[in-house]
Amino acid sequence: MSGETSNEISSWTTDSLRAFVLDRFASEHAWIKDMFIEHQKWSEEKFQAARELRLLHEQMNSARDDAQDKAVAAALADRTLADQIASTANEKRLDNVNEFRGTTNDVIATMWPRSEGSQRVAALELEVRTLKESVAAQQARSGGQSSGWELVTKILPIIIAALAIYLSLKAQTSPVTLK
């Protein structure tokens, strides 16, 4: 069959063609086998790198989880301490408020009502006025000849008594100081 397209006689025979094709298949097969082995090595390297990367991610996630757990525990401890401090401060504030209320109630209980104080002051003013009139009447009767010492000895006890009553009233109505 050789020479159908040209006048030359071909040197190919069936055996030589078969040997050529088998040789080409063998070289292609060797090349494919080499490529397959290289691909297996590359895949194994990539698989090993992926495994190492996954282990690294697991370690990082574990470390992150541990850090988060520690941070949450610290935050809870801080919150508990803050709650205790706030509770103690609130109790102290309420104690102070209650003490102030008690003091205010004591002051109110010991104070005179305005009407009672006004009545006592009016009574004292009336007594002082009466004493002044009495002294003036005595001086008019004596004709103004009594000595100044007699006047002092008569009026001085009255003034001292009025002053003592005034000071006792003032002491009872003065505000109580807090400790």
Q: What pLDDT sits at residue 9?
A: 72
Cβ neighbours of residue 178 under 8 Å, at least 6 residues apart? 99, 100, 103
User: What is the arithmetic mean of pLDDT over 45-56?
Assistant: 94
Report the C-alpha gap between 67 and 78 in whole angstroms. 16
Buried/exposed 57-95: b ≥16 CB within 10 Å, e otherwise = eeeeeeeeeeeeeeeeeeeeeeeeeeeeeeeeeeeeeee
pTM of structure? 0.36
Least confident interval from 16-20, 99-103, 116-120: 116-120
- The pLDDT mean for the chain works out to 85
Which runs of consecutive H residues, i.e. helices, occur in the chain?
14-110, 114-142, 148-173
Please give the share of the chain, as a percent, with pLDDT higher than 90. Answer: 46
Q: What is the pLDDT of residues 156-165, one digit of tens each?
A: 888 898 888 8
